[in-house]
Amino acid sequence: MDIKATALDFTPMHERMDAYIEQNILSCCATLVMQGQEIIDYKTFGYMDLESKEPLRADAIYRMYSNTKLVTSVALMMLHEEGLFDLDDPLAKYMPQFDGLSVLKPDAQSAEDVVPAQQMVLIRHILSHSAGFSYGFIEPNSVIDQAYLQGGLNVLADSSIDLEEFCDRVARLPLAYEPGASWRYSVATDVCARLVEVLSGQKFDEFLQQRIFAPLGMVDTGFWVPPEKTDRFITQYAPTDLLDPMKPGLVKADDPVNGQYNKLRRLLSGGGGLVSTVADYVKFLQMIVGGGAYGSVRLLQPATLEAMRQNQLAPGVNVAFPMWSMPGTTFGLGFALKQTPQATEPPASQDEYHWGGMAGTHSWMAPNAGITGFCLTQRMPGFWHPFSHEFKAHAYAIAGS
């Protein structure tokens, strides 16, 4: 990667990220900052694994988890540009199993306490997590997530079914709310991946390779790590105390040679299945901040990306998690949107659009500040962790206009 020389001093950010390694809170970390499409800082910290203490490689391979969602959303919007669907088309027009869905009653005690849905799930709903689907693990004691687990939908542990069967199972379950009425993080982006297959006539991985990865030169991005690349695959860790994100101590959570990514799984998860490198994924980010083009390659028109950055949620509905507060945040077509910066955030963060992965791979684009941030680790869970907030604060303070 070419790094443009500037007079900016990123030392305070580097020192803070390094402290997370020294304190055994993270095993590794990589940070990258762009102005426009130009990389102005890239730094690696820590280790490929804590046993060997091999330094983190610049070409290391990361489990991207939900950073996959941005790629899937772009893929589906490429087909929208080709006129293959309208955003207000019912999903059932292309995937009939999603016709005649039911919705949990507000006071439901079980998955059988349902009424017929009054609204159809629209394609804009699945791009914005407002369809009424769920995930099965974020609120595990809820009626809806219990139904997902009992219905054989455990995306963290079971990749034995393909996208078609996965969507068939989703369609047999009730919705958490009327389509379009609320926001709930969910398997909706996996449904988007299956819709890409239906509309394109290609397997999801083949579509991504042909239409996104090959054109952008993303040579190490895919749904598994082949044997010849395992020496570049980072060991994943989990904290010894899941409830205290700043408590030192890590234990191995996924092995880079004999782990879940060392063979191609049947479920090509559009919500969380990709592995990638910093060099690969930054090309995707450069395409996004470039209005859909990077170099001579154009994947989307600027107007399409502008539409993706428009709030799709009903009035008064915001992004919300049981365990993470994301105040002032709404959701577009694949991106979370910062509509109201908080008191601790710079005014230039207004209209920032972003998402991240559960093991701590965050990317955010800040058009008003003219910068993009990309911060990665392999800590499960590492989503919405203090390290990523500190990285962002430093990036804004040092490079934000």
- 89-147: per-residue pLDDT in tens? 999 999 999 999 999 999 999 999 999 999 999 999 999 999 999 999 889 999 999 99
Percentage of the chain modeled with pLDDT above 70: 100
Per-residue pLDDT of 254-283, as tens digits, reads: 999 999 999 999 999 999 999 999 999 999
Greater confidence, 166 or 154? 166
- CA atoms in the 13 A half-sphere facing the CB of 34: 27
Residue 296 pLDDT > 80, yes or no? Answer: yes
pLDDT for position 242: 84
pLDDT for position 322: 84
Residue 338 pLDDT > 90, yes or no? Answer: yes
The encoded tokens of residue 379 equal 């800590």
Per-residue pLDDT of 42-64, as tens digits, reads: 999 999 999 999 999 999 999 99
CATH of 84-200, one of 1.10.8, 1.10.730, 1.20.58, 1.10.287: 1.20.58
pLDDT for position 155: 84
Q: Per the confidence metrics, is the pTM higher than 0.85? A: yes
Q: Report phi then psi at 168, rounded to 5.
A: -60, -40
Mean pLDDT across the stretch 240-263? 93
Alpha helices (runs of H) in 273-320, residue ranges in sequence order: 278-289, 302-308
Single-letter amino acid, residue 341: P
Residue 189 pLDDT > 90, yes or no? Answer: yes
**What do you get for the CA distance between the two ends of the chain, in Å?**
23
C-alpha dihedral over 315, 318, 322, 324, to 10 degrees? -170
Instruction: Measure CA 51 to chain center.
Output: 29
pLDDT for position 36: 97
Greater confidence, 196 or 151? 196
- Hey, where are the domains in the chain? 11-72+206-399, 84-200
383 pLDDT tier (thresholds 50, 70, 90):
confident
pLDDT for position 355: 95
Mean pLDDT across the stretch 356-375? 97
Do 285 and 71 touch, CB atoms closer than 8 A? Answer: no
Q: Which CATH class is domain 11-72+206-399?
A: alpha beta
pLDDT for position 122: 98
Residue 401 pLDDT > 90, yes or no? Answer: no
Give the C-alpha separation, 129 to 214, whole Å: 28
Mean pLDDT across the stretch 199-228? 98
294 pLDDT tier (thresholds 50, 70, 90):
very high
194 pLDDT tier (thresholds 50, 70, 90):
very high
11-72+206-399 with 84-200: one CATH topology?
no
Mean pLDDT across the stretch 31-51? 98
Residue 324 pLDDT > 80, yes or no? Answer: no
The encoded tokens of residue 94 equal 């292309």
